[in-house]
Structure 1
């Protein structure tokens, strides 16, 4: 019986070895292992990118807090002008082009940014502006990203950089004068401002606001010419009022757009960090899985070698 048992062992050994080799080869073919160095480098790269976006998010949050503090010091003059001063425009001046509008043509003022990382928000702003555009629309783009995102053919296009927070008042005051003078000179029908509006830290919208003609309340009864004394003339006073109105709307839109930009940047960085965290988990899983597969193959090969050695020694002992 011992001899019969020993005679069956050599015939089973090759089949047992082939089965284990087939399992090892199938495992390698099904899950091709990348090198440990490649996985380690990718894991290091993902970790560094995660750190970069973490810093970027902290910077965006700090910028948002700073702009919130600066915007809190700014008085919302546009609502005051619309509520207190626009109803005082006398009836004879309501036929003025700044109140009635010109013959034809539209001026679109689009406020975006000079920086990146908030492309979807600025794309929505430009899409809304291009939906309002006409064939003979004049463009004033505040921010270089608006120029890159503009796909419609523009016959008259002016581009200016996005003003900084320190020089916003002076720059937007000049912009208001340019808008009013251009509407008067070219007899444009209307002028609109399209920009991002800050709603909350997690929500931003696209706002369109009419700059000219002046949005006079239709229900208010305007004073007659005898009730108003305008010096040096009614037209000059109306132009100054229009410039103040346009400037105040641009200032309000600027601070809201900056807050929306930094909030969107912080949200974009957070979304990128979450995607990198998913990628980090996948790479770490693949890294340790590759290590496990390598150790598993080594253990199986060691078992095969040990079994073959024990069988050879057993066969050699039986042959003696």
Structure 2
């Protein structure tokens, strides 16, 4: 009788091939978009190269602060004390994984693995991530509602056609199907765990302050990156308007979940800036600067940190 074959190396190679294929597809899409809009990008890059270095430094500092803010929010969503250094490093590494899988799945997988390595069960880890994501969504919605009155006419409700009226009916139908499906008991138990964790967070003021303060700081620092870049390229837009444009564009880009928001967030930010009166070249330089500071420049270091964490079995 032959010895059983270990399929782990084979599965590992297949996973590596899939990851490589996804990364190649993302890179090809980025190259295609860059070639298609090369004149605008070239003009924007030249304008960014002669931008105010002081404001770019502010933008870079704000970009680095987003990972610390994310770590603070994650600590607030967890009852046990997490190792601070590895927590911040995992948030930095998650930013790299987020550009491989869409809709934040890469960052979610890294954070889930990190919390499980810290001793939490898979269910508790997933619940902590859900609490953090929910807090971030609430903060984003509250900020949009708070800033919209200060920028009258900036956000317009789109025209709703007759076909769009079917969306509420479709949602109600999906809810009814879920309530009558065999998956509902499992979903109900998961929802009960999340609600219990939310109550546990707010039973401790320090945890609640970390969760909501970190979520608010994360969104505010991302807005500050965009504001600082607009100031660096001398784009005459009020900071409040830029912050509202970022919140609206990033929320709209979430409806088209691409890895790291590649393409969807860029297009949404560019359209939002040009619709507010910015020239196309200036809008391109702002989007390019924002993406350089939040994605492309930190990408290689975050991949290295991800590899180190995996090697040390922190993930």
Give the alignment's TM-score, normalised by structure 1.
Answer: 0.27
More strand by share: 1
More helix by share: 2
| Larger gyration radius, structure 1 or structure 2 | 1
Give the alignment's TM-score, normalised by structure 2.
Answer: 0.28
Larger relative contact order (Cα-Cα within 8 Å, sequence gap ≥ 6): 2
